[in-house]
Chains A and B, each alone.
Chain A
């Protein structure tokens, strides 16, 4: 049945080359943990991507219940975690995944660094990787405020005051981030928008560039 649907579409649109081009490529021996166990270090990038997918999915579902508003934010998080079936698990995925994705990304960065995989011709991909690192930290920072509990608010105060210490543009950065003088209603809506729209869009674009460059240049050779 599925095969027939696929054939029907393929006959008309010739979709096979599209996915073949993505899926059909050899995994070099030196990155295959089945050949050399130590090659597991090559998995960190893929694991980062895998957790990112889980973050995006769990985040989309959490947004079904979350209210980005100082009166309701905490209550809605409390409700979705304690009253809604599997709320603990879905929020747990997003909460723990947020830390794990940064750990994995860090390990991936270390691998690339110590193997010298960033050297010519892959310098540009290193630059994009560093941008992804920044976006991920931004996602962590903005997401931390959303539950709107004491820890969230004070962590954000600290973070915004760190931003204030940037020379020259510090005060502007502070006002921009907190959306005014007060860290309150407008900070929360602003962080929400950054967390669910701006940074994910940037992340997807950067990850697309990251992967296209890998396919173009291939994985760096064995040491």
Chain B
């Protein structure tokens, strides 16, 4: 490398940009990390809560409400969730989330006279069959989420609603 390769002006430019960049990064790095903290935070886990007695669950989807403790930053509260629960042909309990997979409206069972025995979303006419599978040709692109569930002492416990793959 000969002496002419870098001029005094260039050298100063590089050093000043470097030092300035270092200082700016030192100021901005904590602030940016602070701002994106929710993105990097890990998902809060949620306890399973008792929802209903198993005896009350029939073949027809029925809406059950249950309360969970929610922590939203500094604000802690109890929120009410609901689940569509029924026993399928094999006697297994199915607990579906009422949140439409299109854009998040709340679905209802059997409220569209044109399509009986389906879940129906009033917002854009999304429909799902009884097992939660989205009906082709309606807006939703995925089946309804299913709650993690377990049965203990004759009671149904539900946890988080988990998405599943499909149609």
Contacts and interface: CB of A to CB of B under 8 A. Distances in A.
Which one of B27, B34, B35 has the highest number of Cβ atoms from chain A below 10 Å of its Cβ? B34
A76 B35 contact: no
Interface in B42-75: 73-75
Interface stretch (A57-65, A116-124, A179-187): A57-65
A16 interface: no
A203 B40 CA distance: 35
A148 B81 CA distance: 34
B27 A78 contact: no
A61 B27 contact: no
Interface string A148-167: 00000000000000000000
Interface residues of A, number: 21
Contact of B30 (A67, A83, A89): A89
A90 B27 CA distance: 9
Interface size class of B (residues with CB under 8 A): 10 to 19
Chain A at the B interface: SS class: helix
Interface in B109-131: none
B37 interface: yes
A57 B28 contact: yes
Given A54-B27, A86-B30, A61 B35 contact: yes
B74 A86 contact: no
Which one of B30, B40, B75 has the highest number of Cβ atoms from chain A below 10 Å of its Cβ? B30
Given A54-B27, A57-B27, A57-B28, A76 B34 contact: no
B27 A64 contact: no
A48 to B, nearest CB: 16
Contacts of A85: 33-34, 37, 40
B27 A84 contact: no
B103 interface: no
Contact of A79 (B33, B34, B73): B73
20 contacts: A54-B27, A57-B28, A64-B34, A72-B75, A76-B73, A78-B74, A79-B73, A79-B74, A80-B34, A84-B34, A85-B33, A85-B34, A85-B37, A85-B40, A86-B30, A86-B31, A86-B37, A87-B34, A89-B30, A89-B34
